[in-house]
Amino acid sequence: MKFFVDTADTAEIRDLEATGLLDGVTTNPSLIAKSGRDFKEVIAEICQITKGDVSAEVAATDFDGMMKEAAELVKIADNVVIKLPLTLDGLKACKALTSQGHKTNVTLCFSANQALLAAKAGATYISPFIGRLDDINMDGMELIAEIRTIYDNYDFKTEILAASIRTPNHVKECALVGADVATIPPSTLKALVKHPLTDKGLETFLADWAKTGQKIV
């Protein structure tokens, strides 16, 4: 499973990129607003930090507007992926951009039928939002599993990019049901490594090592 980080905070992206565990980055208009920076400038900086796919979302809601914005965004770097909303115009733009050879990420997916449409439109990625479904008492993980079955039934190449991940457990469940990618907030991504028994075990090993009075180098 690939790990993307879901943020527009370039300091966080730099830190995570240095671990060698990062496969890409997703952003959205809310994350760009939170960064307080110029959209195209942030995307350009992120694309310099990572060679992985970087999702940049259009703000237009009509086909022509989306195509115009996408044409600008793809100029920024080769690893820009155009993020489009799951609307009829978004799907139409997805089909057109795919035929032009660009990568796409169809976002705001909340149903299996929406994911089926995105695959038919040739999306590179489909982004089902787990946390937002859980928030309204639905089962986000069930959606990931349904999409996995549908895509496997028809051998669709669209990758399932599990989004709106809120907990380490979401990441584990995504891996169990076969999501291709998880886009994870930085704090949740860092939390994956933590286990109290690892901390306790390391503390004991270090204390015992100190008693030996030895040095490795």
Cβ–Cβ under 8 Å, residues 7 and 14 = no
Our finding on whether 131 is near ligand E4P (CB under 6 A) is yes
83 in active site:
yes
Our finding on whether 124 is near ligand E4P (CB under 6 A) is no
Our finding on whether 26 is near ligand E4P (CB under 6 A) is yes
Residue of the chain from 50, 79, 158, 164 that contacts ligand E4P (CB under 6 A):
164
In sequence order, the β-bridge partners of residue 188 are: none
Q: Which of 189, 152, 157 is nearest to 2 (CA)?
A: 189
Cβ–Cβ under 8 Å, residues 24 and 181 = yes
Cα dist from 214 to 204, 207, 209, 211, whole Å? 16, 12, 7, 8
Q: Percent helix, strand and coil across the chain, each rounded to 5?
A: 50, 20, 30
Q: Which of 102, 110, 20 is nearest to 54 (CA)?
A: 102
Choices 71-79, 91-99, 124-132, 168-176 (CB under 6 A): range interacting with ligand E4P: 124-132
Site string for ligand E4P, 51-80 (x = CB under 6 A): ------------------------------
In sequence order, the β-bridge partners of residue 85 are: 107
Choices 13-21, 127-135, 147-155, 207-215 (CB under 6 A): range interacting with ligand E4P: 127-135
| Closer residue to ligand E4P in complex, CB, 134/214 | 134
Our finding on whether 158 is near ligand E4P (CB under 6 A) is no
Catalytic residues: 83
Interface positions with ligand E4P (CB under 6 A): 6, 26, 28, 107, 127, 129, 131-132, 163-164, 183
